[in-house]
Amino acid sequence: MSTWHEYLQGGKPVPTWPYPIRYGEERELETDVLVFGGGIAGSHAAISARKAGARVLVVEKEATKWSGNGGAGVDHWLSACTNPCSRVSPEEYTQRVLEDCGGYDCGPLRYVVARESWDALLDCEGMGLRIRDEAGEFTGAEFRDEETGLLFAYDYVNRCELRVWGHNMKPVLHAEMRRLGVEVLDRVMITSLLTEGEGESRRVTGATGLGTRTGEFYIIRAKATILATGLPGRMWNFSTEYRSTFRDPNCTGEGVSAAWRAGAEFSRLEESYPDSGTMAYISYAVGNAHNTWHGCPIVDANGKEVPWVDRDGRELGSLEERFTPAEGQRFMLGDGLRVPPSYENQTKKLAPDLPERILSGEFVLPLYADLSRMPERERRAIFGLMVGNEGRTRVPVYETLTKAGFDPDQDMLQVPIMDPSSYGHSNFWSGVGAPQWRMWGGGGVVVDWDLRTNLPGLYAAGGAIFGAGAHSSAAASGRYAGRRAAEGARGVSLPGADRAQTDREKARVYAPLKPEGRPMGWKDFNAGIGRLMQSYCGQYKSAGGLREGLRMLGELRESEAASLSAANPHELMRAVECLGMLDVGEAVMTASLERRASSDYLNFQRIDFPRMDPPEWRNLRPIKLGPSGPESRDLPFDYFLRPPYAPSLKENYAAHSGLERGEVRR
Amino acid sequence: MSETYMLPNPPGPNRAVDFDPAICNGCNSCAGICRSDVLMPNPEKGKTPIVLYPDECWYCGTCVLECRRPGAITLVHPLNQSVSVVWKRKATGEYFRLGMKRPPTPNARPPSS
Ligand SMILES: Cc1cc2nc3c(=O)[nH]c(=O)nc-3n(C[C@H](O)[C@H](O)[C@H](O)COP(=O)(O)OP(=O)(O)OC[C@H]3O[C@@H](n4cnc5c(N)ncnc54)[C@H](O)[C@@H]3O)c2cc1C
């Protein structure tokens, strides 16, 4: 008797909505620092802004205790360059990642993270998160530092990427927010940013929100706002039927939509990746050797092991070599940061010519992940520690599989049988998609050395900033942005809220309660946007297709969007997400139209401009919505080292981090 | 015989999580934290929550982690997922699958934590 159908089948009447309905009722709130999205970046931002003395309000559309992409756990803590065992300096690390990204990355974000990732992890330890093997479960392992008890991943020599017990990361952060007196408003979806002034002087003065269970309207006035909404999803691929999506399906891009409408500047929106959407397999629950399972032996149906190779394609002789740099290689960067693997920093990998070797009959399907071939401590690290703590794996994989009898000491986990071409990368659970199925890349707002956007009053952290990123980058940049926003809020008086803006926004968000014409549910609409994105903004793009796509998005706004309907506050939230997706789609297609070149780094293919990354297009090409339509400009890759900034990473950090003035208390 | 009602098709996947009414005391802490509001409080106090939106489940398992009564909630992967979770016991050559009728003895080892 668990499902709605079973409940009704028991002869009960259709239950009424369990929460009070308050459509249109207004709640006015004010704060110094408003945190838009209480995920990883938002939680760290809130904690650090609060420690810096600000009044802080976190607004989260889910429930902060377990919310966001990092809300279901974390096993890898990346970019910890300043941990006591690291052999990579923050400067070297930043330089390498920027180069690996071909330059299309955010320098201030990258360097702030390299400097503070380890500090952010120590913050978490102080809050009660386990980051060391104090019990000695892994004593003697190659990846354990005997003095500190820290455990390392990928590169056991250079040691700047850690393994952590992060399954309860969000509850730990949540408790700390409560302890410090951060105000947390759950189940409220921010729908727009409030602004005052026009042109260069326009500043962000707060936000509006919608109660996702009750439907009331929030007007929030803030001296500073931090955009921390992570990466948008559900844009290209949407179906609730074949359910497995790696990313949190509730993160749909109201952050992008709100910041876009307010006039914030974005970069890298044109980037997208292949994705198999809801057709993927359960992440880390089928045979694979990727990320959480990095290094796991893969064998074929006859028990023959697939070789691992180094960056030159040389087969490795031993298991230990999977975790040490190749001859002459400075250090290796692990998976997960969304940095393309360059020759300099790539990890050891499963033979990339496996597809051909399967077709030639050398390896026979199905393949298996055979942890029993690893020494006990490596095996326990992968299945007990990593799968036990990674996002969406403790219950969905570890508990589920062990209860069903899976034992990594004696069992081999099967790799799904797929099109042979999909065995070219050991991330086998990602499955096979169609080429037009895409996933959000590194698009986000452009920031300066204060992690502030072009709009005064609006800061950003985590996935909301353009460029590569992961959990620790969200944490470290949140920590930094919180300090900067707290300082930015100091001395600013509380702005007023513009009635015309809030009235316009109310009309927009409640429209689905009075649909025009033939009412349409949110799922139908979401899938329609997906089809548009696939058709006009799929793998291959062209000016004609993108223009047509933009025209179609405009049409949808007038026609079907006006028919979007909602029967309760939950459906209203979903419908408003869909309205936001129209803005997100428009921003992505406009950015794609603006970049008149293809780019290997950005996974961006223009049929009409096939040259890959030509010199004149090696540029961030930021884009924003101006008063009379989209505007773009040239912005050099190294904008953060040119005037008005200082010429080095260190100098800029010293000038902007706010640490020298002793504002941060642990 | 219960009544036959006119109902829409159950969404696919149609369960997502399963409650054991003998263990669950209807405290609704799972419904309190579910990111997608898949779970709604039961109109009858003390009864198991209703799985209203199984099609919106992310299968993150945080409802199970939040629950203070072990065994009250079980995460149930959709068949199109569990059918691909297959393993082979090296010593005996037996095949097992998530969801099979007669599964092997559970592996009682807890995760590292
Ligand atoms: C399954 C999984 C496992 C991962 N494991 C690792 C790992 O081991 N190591 C690693 O480095 N990285 C990992 N990552 C990546 C990492 O989780 C993300 O990079 C990180 O969560 C990004 O932080 P963020 O704060 O930018 O976004 P999120 O953590 O996603 O937070 C964004 C928050 O904003 C909220 N929000 C969105 N829109 C609104 C709105 N309109 N109003 C109010 N709130 C809103 C969301 O609900 C969410 O809580 C993993 C990701 C996934 C999905």
In a domain, A529, yes or no: yes
Q: Hey, which residues does A273 pair with through a beta bridge? A: A439
Closest CA to A299 of A373, A241, A384, A235: A373
**Is residue A385 within 8 Å of A165, Cβ to Cβ?**
yes
Of A137, A413, A416, the CB nearest to B112: A137
For residue A577, is pLDDT > 50? yes
Among A441-450, A559-568, B5-14, the range scoring the smallest mean pLDDT is: B5-14
Residue type, A580: G
Q: Is A457 exposed, middle or buried (0-12, 13-18, 19+ CB in 10 A)?
A: buried
Q: Which of A189, A291, A471 to mutate to test the pocket of ligand 1 (most atoms within 8 A of CB)?
A: A471
Determine the residue of chain A that is closest to B104 in CA distance. Answer: A405
* Residue A285 Cα to ligand 1 middle (Å): 21
pLDDT for A199: 87
State the sign of the Cα–Cα–Cα–Cα dihedral B94, B98, B102, B108. Answer: positive
Same domain, A509 and A405: no
CATH code where residue A527 lies: 1.20.58.100
For residue B102, is pLDDT > 60? yes
For residue A663, is pLDDT > 50? no
pLDDT for A1: 66
* B25 at A interface, C-beta within 8 A: no
DSSP result, A419-436: -GGGGSSS-GGG----TT
Number of domains in chain A: 2
- Look at B109 and A72 and tell me if their CB atoms are within 8 Å: no
Closest CA to A188 of A171, A173, A208: A208
Residue type, A107: G
In chain B, residues with a C-beta closer than 8 Å to the C-beta of A405 are: 96, 103-107
CATH code where residue B30 lies: 3.30.70.20
For residue A59, is pLDDT > 90? yes
Q: What are the pLDDT digits (tens) for A244-303?
A: 789 999 999 999 999 999 999 999 999 999 999 889 999 999 999 999 999 999 999 999
Residue type, A451: L
**Is residue B67 within 8 Å of B18, Cβ to Cβ?**
no
pLDDT for A664: 44
Residue type, A360: S
E-strand stretches of A291-345? 298-299, 308-309
- Percentage of residues in chain A with pLDDT exceeding 70? 99
Same domain, A292 and A378: yes
In a domain, A108, yes or no: no
Q: How far apart are CA A361 and CA A349, in angstroms?
A: 21
pLDDT for A665: 43
- Look at A398 and B99 and tell me if their CB atoms are within 8 Å: no
Q: Is A229 helix (H, G, I), strand (E, B) or coil?
A: coil
In chain A, residues with a C-beta closer than 8 Å to the C-beta of B54 are: 3
Q: What are the pLDDT digits (tens) for A327-337?
A: 999 999 988 88
For residue A470, is pLDDT > 90? yes
Residue A41 phi, psi dihedral angles, 5° rounding: -60, -45
Of ligand 1's atoms, which has the minimum distance to the CA of residue A258?
A: 41
* Residue A231 Cα to ligand 1 middle (Å): 7
Determine the residue of chain A that is closest to B31 in CA distance. Answer: A63
* B99 at A interface, C-beta within 8 A: yes
Q: What are the pLDDT digits (tens) for A537-570?
A: 999 999 999 999 999 999 999 999 999 999 999 9
- Look at A398 and B51 and tell me if their CB atoms are within 8 Å: no
Q: What are the pLDDT digits (tens) for B74-94?
A: 999 999 999 999 999 999 999
Q: What are the pLDDT digits (tens) for A396-416?
A: 999 999 999 999 999 999 999
DSSP result, A116-185: HHHHHHHHHHHHT-B-S-TT-TTTT-TTB-TTT--EE-S-TTT--SEE-B-TTHHHHHHHHHHHHT-EEE
In a domain, B57, yes or no: yes
Q: How far apart are CA A196 and CA A68, in angstroms?
A: 30
**Neighbouring residues of A48: CB distance < 8 A, sequence distance ≥ 6:** A478, A479, A480, A482, A483, A486, A664
Q: Which residue has the higher pLDDT, A196 or A240?
A: A196
Q: Is B60 helix (H, G, I), strand (E, B) or coil?
A: coil
* B22 at A interface, C-beta within 8 A: no
pLDDT for A660: 66
- Look at A398 and B107 and tell me if their CB atoms are within 8 Å: no
Closest CA to A570 of A514, A505, A522, A622: A522
Instruction: Read off the pLDDT of each residue in A46-72 and give the average, rounded to a whole number.
Output: 98
**Neighbouring residues of A628: CB distance < 8 A, sequence distance ≥ 6:** none
Q: B39: distance to nearest CA of chain A, Å?
A: 9
Instruction: Read off the pLDDT of each residue in A498-512 and give the average, rounded to a whole number.
Output: 98
In a domain, B21, yes or no: yes
Q: Which two tokens stand for residue A360?
A: 């030639």
Q: Is B94 helix (H, G, I), strand (E, B) or coil?
A: coil
Range of the domain at B25: 17-77
pLDDT for B2: 73
Q: How far apart are CA A557 and CA A487, in angstroms?
A: 40
- Look at A410 and B5 and tell me if their CB atoms are within 8 Å: no
Of ligand 1's atoms, which has the minimum distance to the CA of residue A71?
A: 29
Total count of residues recorded for chain B: 113
Q: What are the pLDDT digits (tens) for A167-190?
A: 999 999 999 999 999 999 999 999
With a Cβ cut-off of 6 Å, ligand 1 is lined by A 37-42, 59-62, 67-70, 74-76, 78, 189-190, 228-230, 246-248, 250-251, 254-255, 336, 390-392, 462-464, 469-472, 474
Quote the distance between the C-alpha of residue A446 and its chain's center: 16
Residue B60 phi, psi dihedral angles, 5° rounding: -90, -20
Sheet of A162-163: strand order equals: A76-77, A162-163, A151-152
- Chain mean pLDDT for chain A: 96
φ/ψ region of A442 (left if φ > 0, alpha if ψ in -120 to 50, else beta) reads: alpha
Instruction: Read off the pLDDT of each residue in A368-387 and give the average, rounded to a whole number.
Output: 98
Range of the domain at A366: 281-330+338-430
* B94 at A interface, C-beta within 8 A: no
**Is residue A623 within 8 Å of A591, Cβ to Cβ?**
yes
* Residue A69 Cα to ligand 1 middle (Å): 3
Q: Cis link prior to B111 (omega < 30° from 0)?
A: no
Number of domains in chain B: 1
In chain A, residues with a C-beta closer than 8 Å to the C-beta of B5 are: 8-9
Q: What are the pLDDT digits (tens) for A84-137?
A: 999 999 999 999 999 999 999 999 999 999 999 999 999 999 999 999 999 999
Whether ipTM tops 0.90, in short, is yes
Instruction: Read off the pLDDT of each residue in A436-456 and give the average, rounded to a whole number.
Output: 97
Quote the distance between the C-alpha of residue A613 and its chain's center: 25
Q: Hey, which residues does A465 pair with through a beta bridge? A: A445
In chain A, residues with a C-beta closer than 8 Å to the C-beta of B3 are: 11
- A637-644 CB contacts, 8 Å cutoff, 24+ apart: A637/A98, A637/A103, A637/A104, A638/A103, A638/A107, A639/A107, A640/A106, A640/A107, A640/A108, A640/A448, A640/A449, A641/A107
Cβ-based contacts under 8 A for chains A and B: 205
Q: Which of B60, B74, B82, B100 to mutate to test the interface with A (most CBs of A within 10 A)?
A: B60
* Residue A71 Cα to ligand 1 middle (Å): 7
Q: How far apart are CA A407 and CA B88, in angstroms?
A: 10
Q: What are the pLDDT digits (tens) for A593-625?
A: 999 999 999 999 999 999 999 999 999 999 999
* B50 at A interface, C-beta within 8 A: yes
**Is residue A427 within 8 Å of A290, Cβ to Cβ?**
yes
* Residue A41 Cα to ligand 1 middle (Å): 8
pLDDT for A337: 86
In a domain, A126, yes or no: no
- Look at B81 and A403 and tell me if their CB atoms are within 8 Å: no
Smallest CA separation from ligand 1 atom 19, residue: A470
pLDDT for A531: 97
Q: What are the pLDDT digits (tens) for A189-227?
A: 999 999 999 988 899 999 999 999 999 999 999 999 999
- Chain mean pLDDT for chain B: 96
Owner of token pair 């500047």: A265
Local confidence band at A242 (pLDDT 50, 70, 90 cut-offs): confident
**Is residue A81 within 8 Å of A114, Cβ to Cβ?**
yes
Q: Which two tokens stand for residue A167?
A: 């399954």
- Tell me, what DSSP letter sits at residue A247? S
